């Protein structure tokens, strides 16, 4: 499934926030922010499910290529805080 246009718009505009886990993964892992951005922009939604925490309507699992071509798994949702953000809960090398 195609990544929703709203997610693409938010990520392109760098209106992205991260969970503590995702921040830790960025700080300590092999992937950088630009890898994650590329994976979301050029990825595919493999799962769309209701957000059980009810912070958003849905959460999306997206698998796409990092800048080096390695596939990256990410899970996030669109939040409507004072401004809209794409909130990345977690990401890692796709298995």
Question: What pLDDT shows up at residue 28?
Answer: 94
pLDDT value of position 5: 97
Write down the pLDDT at residue 80. Answer: 87
What pLDDT does 51 receive? 94
How is the chain split into domains, by residue range? 5-93
Once rounded to an integer, what is the mean pLDDT over residues 45-58?
Answer: 94
By C-alpha distance, which of 12, 13, 11 is closest to 91?
A: 11
For the sheet containing 84-93, what is the strand order? 16-18, 84-93, 71-80, 58-65, 44-50
Separation between Cα atoms, residue 44 and residue 60, nearest integer Å:
10
What global pTM score does this model have?
A: 0.93
How confident is the model at residue 25, as a pLDDT?
95
CA distance 59 to 70: 23
Angstrom distance (rounded) from CA 81 to CA 95? 32
């Amino acid at each position: 499934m195609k990544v929703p246009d709203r997610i693409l718009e938010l990520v392109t505009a760098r209106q992205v926030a991260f969970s503590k886990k995702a921040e830790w993964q960025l700080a300590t892992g092999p992937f950088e922010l630009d890898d994650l951005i590329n994976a979301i922009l050029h990825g595919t939604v493999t799962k769309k499910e209701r957000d059980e925490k009810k912070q958003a309507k849905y959460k999306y699992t997206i698998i796409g290529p990092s800048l080096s071509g390695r596939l990256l798994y990410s899970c996030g949702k669109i939040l409507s805080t004072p401004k809209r953000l794409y909130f990345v809960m977690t990401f890692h090398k796709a298995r």
